[in-house]
């Protein structure tokens, strides 16, 4: 039996007036997702446990079959595993965004999607300035890492920058403000403005009409997690296909094979077809593959209806369509489509709403649902279950 889980990051949404009160999924042309829904079973998945932030870290950990309340220690450590930062006991890893600060407010959480090449120059400068405190690690685009030898800072309250776009910077820094570790790290963030504002990279960006990456934002911190290998927990050899360090980091900790796909960018321009091709090839020597696509989430954060529809339809046509054509050669197979969380256009950030999932297999079991979207899933036979129970449900299909 071969298994494929296709994750459209942030794909779920709310009804929009601009779409005649349809959600983006309802407004998209998605015959292949509808095929899975109409030839399989459907339901709602609560990927974010009560009281936890609706991040892609928590949500994808749930989908992979691990209870975040038991295994989750923070986003930073997960990304550390992907970018070669071997987190040691006693160290804490922070996700580090390059952001755009303007007039005391967080103007852009991704600095206009700064390129990785530009970011490397800024990271090199930051490491020169703050070498005595910790180390910055280069990731992709605006997504990077900061590691320091101080586990006490893991308990600080941090705020995802994509949750506070347009809000004041000072009120959203690390808390409690009077904590010595928060004071130190908040000072690093404030000092980064002076260091980055006049950096040659940012002078050129401004001259080119782009937002400057003139501040860092530290958040999502945590210590090294202890996770049971996927193959021991579920008895299957698994793999990930993604352009995002977070998912690769999860894969590393779970003992999954991270397949590097040329053209997988984690943005609108990702190569959907290559992801599908590599997924099919990977199934030749793996039992299960997670295919993760970031583009719908980026569109949700940007409030861009057109790009979100385009991303969803590309997943449907170029990934799921290809998989449905190729999977029959493996005889017995199962495929599921779902988002990790919702990133509604109207709020431009993640929410804790239960998300729709559909799955079908060669066993032919199906319910009466015939479309894939947030509302039809409510009518499915699977009901609403906790996110970490999805994997067992899928493997038992």
Contact 137, 81 (CB under 8 A): no
- Rounded mean pLDDT, 366-383: 98
- The overall pTM is greater than 0.95: no
- Rounded mean pLDDT, 198-213: 98
Task: Classify residue 235 as exposed, middle or buried by CB count within 10 Å of its CB (0-12, 13-18, 19+).
Answer: exposed
Phi, psi of 390 (to 5 degrees): -60, -45
Q: How far is CA 36 from the centre of its chain?
A: 23
For residue 64, pLDDT over 90 is answered with yes
pLDDT digits (tens, 9 = 90+) for 9-33: 999 999 999 999 999 999 999 999 9
Alpha-carbon radius of gyration of the chain:
21
Residue 109: the pLDDT is 97
Q: With b meaning 16 or more CB within 10 Å and e meaning fewer, what string describes 249-276?
A: bbbbbbebebbebeebbbbbebbbebbb
Residue 289: the pLDDT is 99
- Rounded mean pLDDT, 51-68: 97
Neighbours of 165 (CB within 10 A): 17
For residue 83, pLDDT over 90 is answered with no
189 DSSP 8-state letter: H
Mean pLDDT for the chain?
97
For residue 292, pLDDT over 90 is answered with yes
**Percent helix, strand and coil across the chain, each rounded to 5?**
40, 20, 40
- Rounded mean pLDDT, 272-294: 99
Report the candidate in 48, 45, 54, 59 with the shortest Cα–Cα distance to residue 356: 45
For residue 86, pLDDT over 90 is answered with no
For residue 84, pLDDT over 90 is answered with no
For residue 156, pLDDT over 90 is answered with yes
Residue 82 — pLDDT band, cuts 50, 70, 90? Answer: confident
- Rounded mean pLDDT, 144-149: 97
**Assigned token pair, 51:** 């009281």
pLDDT digits (tens, 9 = 90+) for 331-363: 999 999 999 999 999 999 999 999 999 999 999
* Domains present along the chain, CATH in parentheses: 2-72+226-395 (3.40.720.10), 90-222 (no CATH)
């Amino acid at each position: 039996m071969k298994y494929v889980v296709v994750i459209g990051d942030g794909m779920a949404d709310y009804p929009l007036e601009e779409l005649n009160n349809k959600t983006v999924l309802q407004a998209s042309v998605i015959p292949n997702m509808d095929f899975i829904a109409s030839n399989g079973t459907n339901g709602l998945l609560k990927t974010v446990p009560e009281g936890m932030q609706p991040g892609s870290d928590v949500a994808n950990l749930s989908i992979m079959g691990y209870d975040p309340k038991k295994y989750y220690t923070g986003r930073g450590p997960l990304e550390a595993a992907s970018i070669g930062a071997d987190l040691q006991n006693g160290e804490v890893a922070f996700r580090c965004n390059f952001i755009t600060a303007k007039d005391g407010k967080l103007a852009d959480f991704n600095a206009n999607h700064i390129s990785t090449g530009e970011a490397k120059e800024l990271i090199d400068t930051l490491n020169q300035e703050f070498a005595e405190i910790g180390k910055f690690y280069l990731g992709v685009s605006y997504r990077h890492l900061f590691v320091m030898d101080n586990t006490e800072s893991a308990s600080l309250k941090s705020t995802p920058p994509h949750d506070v776009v347009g809000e004041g910077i000072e009120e959203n820094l690390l808390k409690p403000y009077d904590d010595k570790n928060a004071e130190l790290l908040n000072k690093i963030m404030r000092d980064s403005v002076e260091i980055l504002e006049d950096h040659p990279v940012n002078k050129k960006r401004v001259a080119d009409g782009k937002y400057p990456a003139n501040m860092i934002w530290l958040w999502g911190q945590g210590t090294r997690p202890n996770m049971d290998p996927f193959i021991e927990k579920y008895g299957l050899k698994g793999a990930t296909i993604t352009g995002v360090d977070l998912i690769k980091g999860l894969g590393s900790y779970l003992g999954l094979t991270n397949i590097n796909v040329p053209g997988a960018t984690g943005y609108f321009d990702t190569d959907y077809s290559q992801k599908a091709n590599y997924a099919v090839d990977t199934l030749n020597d793996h039992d299960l593959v997670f295919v993760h696509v970031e583009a719908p989430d980026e569109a949700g954060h940007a409030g861009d209806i057109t790009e979100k529809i385009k991303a969803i339809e590309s997943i449907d046509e170029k990934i799921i369509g290809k998989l449905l054509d190729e999977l029959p050669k493996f005889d017995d197979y199962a495929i599921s489509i779902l988002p990790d969380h919702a990133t509604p256009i109207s709020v431009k950030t993640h929410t804790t709403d239960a998300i729709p999932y559909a799955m079908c297999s060669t066993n032919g079991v199906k319910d009466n649902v015939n479309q894939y979207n947030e509302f039809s899933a409510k009518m499915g036979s699977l009901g609403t279950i906790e996110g970490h129970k999805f994997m067992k449900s899928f493997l038992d299909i």
